[in-house]
Chains A and B, each alone.
Chain A
């Protein structure tokens, strides 16, 4: 099974990918959060600098990268990459 998801990039991740959002087709599902992150890394190797320093969310719900729990994705699901902002 695969799904076509919409990935949203915030803050530094938008800068690194040059994108605010993109559609990613044929994402295997269910998928572990680690594999989902690796899939994004493959598309945008520059995201590597955010490794372990980023919040990943699926359908506006936090998923810990590294959790064994598999994530089930559906078409048009939102995946968000949210690095922290520190400015003020």
Chain B
């Protein structure tokens, strides 16, 4: 009897232990369920930065290597900790910039980005991780910053900077870093900085080149002083079209952080009225001495015509994004869908498929039966290429005797260049080459990959 009682008591104790462990587990899980800080979708003023008058022992240990610099010292560190910096764009420039400023102990970082992390961002946007794919970039960057330096106040804004919110946001910060990727946003940030009197540290990068300037600073020019009119939208190359080597925005973002750092710490930037250019191919920096602020500038001049923020997308004729634009140059009967083209292939109808992408893209992937002549070579009427095209068309004509105008289909990555090529080929039809019927394949190879063949690579 006593034996049985003891065994039961033992069992009871074990069960109690198990229940306690389970309770703890539940509590832990509930704790981790508390939502992560949500990015601001509206602009709410952050709490003000408290001015430190001295450094804590932890500050001294953390920042000791930069405190030892006579140019910086304790005063520079305290100044930095009182400074707020608004980072416009958490991409290839914004990531390294935010990373170094946070590491150095900047007071507050505002991180703006409307976009989400994609796999093709990771080669250059070094704050984001594989597991952050699909997450808001502002939030992903903020969580990386938090784990690097938890003493930095970090304000993620998952929104597109717009004429409606830009002044509210910028007014809350001391320095603005333009890390954006498109022309309308660059004009918007510039005008907002001029109107609110903030220095604008502006970097940009594409392919193997970078530029860095500080606008609206110490009597130097603003972006509009240099570029009063925006470039025609079809002449602007973005990173998704033109490509960019990740380390190039990395270098430019670091240089940009350096200038922010110097302004914030009180040393001042030596780059005012200068345009610094970096050529990654030749590993060479050059600087151009710029003019001062222009008295006839539309926004920072003596009689400005821009006294409030305007519609920058219509001013520039393009959207405030670096996503590719969709051109519409052709009529409906000059285009076919990828599905219709697939049906034609299935029926083995003779035709010529012309791929007008640059060779470097054809090397990534292509349809095996296509003929590649890049658009630039068609535009330049390159004689070797015209000869090749003429031969292929005349061969096709023999193949399908009876059809007076052999069909030529034009494809590119997204269906923009192919439309331009259709126009060129129509002009050539019956002159430089046999008379043909030319059609554009809508949406290009990316539509082909999305709709027809999911195994076809996307880039």
> What residues make up the interface of A, taking CB atoms closer than 8 Å to B?
10-12, 15, 20, 49-50, 52-53, 55, 57, 60-62, 64, 80, 82-88
Contacts and interface: CB of A to CB of B under 8 A. Distances in A.
A83 B231 contact: yes
Contacts of B238: 86-87
Interface stretch (B85-93, B143-151, B414-422): B85-93
Contacts of B230: 53
B228 interface: yes
28 contacts: A12-B235, A15-B237, A50-B231, A52-B229, A53-B227, A53-B231, A55-B290, A60-B287, A60-B289, A62-B275, A62-B288, A62-B291, A82-B275, A83-B231, A84-B227, A85-B206, A85-B211, A86-B181, A86-B204, A86-B206, A87-B205, A87-B238, A87-B249, A87-B322, A88-B89, A88-B94, A88-B181, A88-B205
Given A53-B230, A87-B204, A87-B206, A80 B288 contact: yes
Given A50-B235, A88-B179, A82 B92 contact: no
Interface residues of B, number: 45
Given A82-B275, A85-B206, A88-B94, A62 B186 contact: no
Contact of A86 (B236, B286, B288, B289): B236
Contact of A80 (B206, B237, B286): B286
B203 interface: yes
Given A11-B206, A12-B235, A52 B92 contact: no
B244 A87 contact: yes
B259 interface: no
B453 to A, nearest CB: 30
Contacts of A83: 231
Nearest 10 A-B pairs (CB), nearest first? A87-B206, A85-B204, A88-B93, A88-B181, A57-B288, A87-B239, A53-B231, A86-B183, A85-B206, A62-B290
Contact of B92 (A55, A61, A88): A88
B116 to A, nearest CB: 17
Nearest to A80: B288
Contacts of A49: 231-232, 235
B105 interface: no
B12 to A, nearest CB: 66
Given A85-B210, A87-B322, A88-B89, A55 B231 contact: no
Nearest to B88: A88
A78 B29 CA distance: 66
B277 interface: yes
A4 B296 CA distance: 34
Contacts of B186: 84, 86
Nearest to B240: A87
Nearest to A16: B235
